[in-house]
C-alpha cells in the first residue's frame, strides 16, 4: 500500500474488533500495529490543552477519549519519525479491490498538489476528467511516496462518515486552482449506486449521488468539511502540525470537526495563502468506511447501534469484513 506503517486505534477490551481487523488486514496482505486507545476516565483536566478548556471540559468523556486516542497515534508517528502512516479506527472496512483504489488515489493526490498543474476548471467547480488530468503526472515516478512528496502534504482523508465539496468564503471572489479542483473518474466499479451513498443506514444520502453520474468517484481538497476519522494517512509534517495545534495549544470540539476545519483553514478566518499551505486531500465516496455489524454502536458516543438489524456496508461494494469466511477455506 506504500505507507511506512499502518496503525489501528483500539481499546484493549475490544478484542472482537482487534481480531476482526487483524483478519481483514491479513486477507488484504497488510501488516498492522495497534495504538492503545485512551480510556475516557483517564483524561485528566490538567492534560487538556490550555486553549479552549472552557469548552473542552464540558465535552462527554467519550469525546475526550477519542481526541486523546488520535493524539496518541500522532505522537507515535512523530516519535518514530515516520514519513507516512495510515491510521485506522478499529471498526474500519474496505473493498477487496483496495489496491486499484489506492493507485488511482495516489495519482490524483499527486495531480492535485502538483505545482505544475494549473489547468483551469470553472468557477462552478465542474469536474475535470481524471484520465485527462493525470496525463501530467502519470509518467513521472514518485521519488518518495506514490501519493506525492510527504513534505508537501499533511493529510489524506481516506475514510470518513460525511464530506463536502471544496468551498471558500462567501464574501470572496471565486478563484480557480488546485484548492478547488474536482478530479472525476466516471467509471469506478467500486463506487456503489447513489442509493447506497450514505454514511449510516439511517443517514441522509450524499450530494455526490445528485451531482454526478452513478459509479463516479471524485478527488479533491478536503476543505469542505468532513466527519469521522475512519482512516487518515498523515505525513510527518502533518502529524507534527496536528499534535502541536491540538495536543498542546488548543482543543475545544469533537476531534474530526477540529481536523476538518483545520484542513479548511480554521473556518477561513486565516489568509487564503495560509489555508492553502495545509494540504488535505480526500475522495468521494471514501475508500474506507465504518463497518456496521448487527447491534453495533460507537464507543465514542454510544450512538447508532440498537436500531441496526442487519450488517451494513455503506460506501463499500465488496466488503472485506463480510468476506472473512474465506479465512476458513
Summarize pLDDT for 79-118 with one digit per residue, the tens.
Answer: 999 999 999 999 999 999 999 999 999 999 988 876 554 4
Could you tell me if 222 and 238 are in contact, meaning their C-beta atoms sit under 8 angstroms apart?
no
Give the mean model confidence (pLDDT) for residues 125-139. Answer: 55
Nearest to 90 by CA among 64, 67, 69, 59: 69
- CA–CA distance, 115 with 304 (Å, rounded to integer): 43
pLDDT given for residue 164 in this prediction:
85
Contacts of 21 (CB under 8 A, 6+ apart): 8, 10, 32, 88, 90, 92
Give the mean model confidence (pLDDT) for residues 44-68. Answer: 94
Q: Output 35 or 171, whichever has higher pLDDT.
A: 35
What is the average pLDDT value for the chain, to the nearest integer?
83
pLDDT band at 204 (very low <50, low <70, confident <90, very high): confident
Q: Taking the domains of the chain in order of start, what are their residue ranges?
A: 5-328
Query: Running DSSP on this structure, what letter comes out for residue 288?
Result: E
Task: Write down the H helix ranges in the chain.
Answer: 15-27, 53-56, 61-79, 98-112, 130-134, 208-211, 236-242, 255-264, 272-277
3-class DSSP assignment, residue 250: strand
pLDDT given for residue 93 in this prediction:
96
- Residue 253, pLDDT > 90, answer yes
Could you tell me if 280 and 187 are in contact, meaning their C-beta atoms sit under 8 angstroms apart?
no
Give the mean model confidence (pLDDT) for residues 156-173. Answer: 77
For the chain, give the percent of residues with pLDDT over 90.
58
- CA–CA distance, 40 with 29 (Å, rounded to integer): 33
pTM beyond 0.85, yes or no: yes
- The neighbour count for residue 169, using CB atoms within 10 Å, is 13
- Residue 282, pLDDT > 70, answer yes
- Residue 271, pLDDT > 90, answer no
- CA–CA distance, 295 with 19 (Å, rounded to integer): 18
3-class DSSP assignment, residue 33: strand
Amino acid at each position: 500500500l506504500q505507507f511506512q506503517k499502518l496503525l489501528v486505534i483500539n481499546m484493549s477490551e475490544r478484542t472482537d474488533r482487534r481480531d476482526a481487523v487483524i483478519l481483514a488486514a491479513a486477507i488484504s496482505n497488510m501488516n498492522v500495529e495497534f495504538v492503545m486507545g485512551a480510556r475516557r476516565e483517564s483524561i485528566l483536566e490538567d492534560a487538556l490543552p490550555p486553549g479552549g478548556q472552557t469548552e473542552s471540559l464540558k465535552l462527554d468523556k467519550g469525546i475526550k477519549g477519542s481526541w486523546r486516542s488520535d493524539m496518541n497515534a500522532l505522537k507515535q508517528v512523530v516519535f518514530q519519525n515516520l514519513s507516512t502512516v495510515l491510521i485506522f479506527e478499529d471498526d474500519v472496512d474496505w473493498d477487496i479491490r483496495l489496491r486499484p483504489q489506492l493507485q488511482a488515489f495516489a495519482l490524483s493526490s499527486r495531480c492535485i498538489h502538483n505545482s505544475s498543474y494549473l489547468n483551469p476548471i470553472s468557477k462552478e467547480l465542474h469536474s475535470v476528467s481524471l484520465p485527462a488530468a493525470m496525463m501530467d503526472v502519470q509518467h513521472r515516478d514518485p521519488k518518495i511516496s506514490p501519493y506525492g512528496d510527504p513534505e508537501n502534504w499533511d493529510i489524506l482523508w481516506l475514510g470518513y462518515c460525511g464530506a463536502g465539496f471544496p468551498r471558500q468564503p462567501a464574501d470572496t471572489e471565486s478563484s480557480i486552482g488546485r484548492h478547488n479542483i474536482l478530479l472525476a473518474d466516471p467509471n469506478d466499479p467500486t463506487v456503489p449506486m447513489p442509493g447506497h451513498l450514505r454514511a449510516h443506514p439511517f443517514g441522509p444520502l450524499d450530494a455526490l449521488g445528485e451531482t454526478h453520474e452513478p459509479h463516479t468517484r471524485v478527488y479533491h481538497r478536503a476543505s469542505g468539511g468532513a466527519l469521522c476519522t475512519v482512516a487518515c494517512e498523515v505525513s510527518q509534517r502533518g502529524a507534527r502540525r496536528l499534535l502541536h495545534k491540538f495536543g498542546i495549544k488548543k482543543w475545544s470540539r469533537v476531534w474530526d470537526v477540529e481536523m476538518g476545519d483545520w484542513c479548511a483553514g480554521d473556518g477561513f478566518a486565516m489568509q487564503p495563502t495560509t489555508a492553502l499551505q495545509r494540504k488535505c486531500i480526500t475522495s468521494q465516496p471514501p475508500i474506507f468506511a465504518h463497518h456496521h455489524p448487527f447491534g453495533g454502536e460507537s464507543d465514542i458516543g454510544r450512538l447508532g447501534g440498537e436500531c441496526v438489524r442487519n450488517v451494513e456496508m455503506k460506501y463499500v461494494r465488496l466488503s472485506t469484513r463480510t468476506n472473512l469466511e474465506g479465512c476458513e477455506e
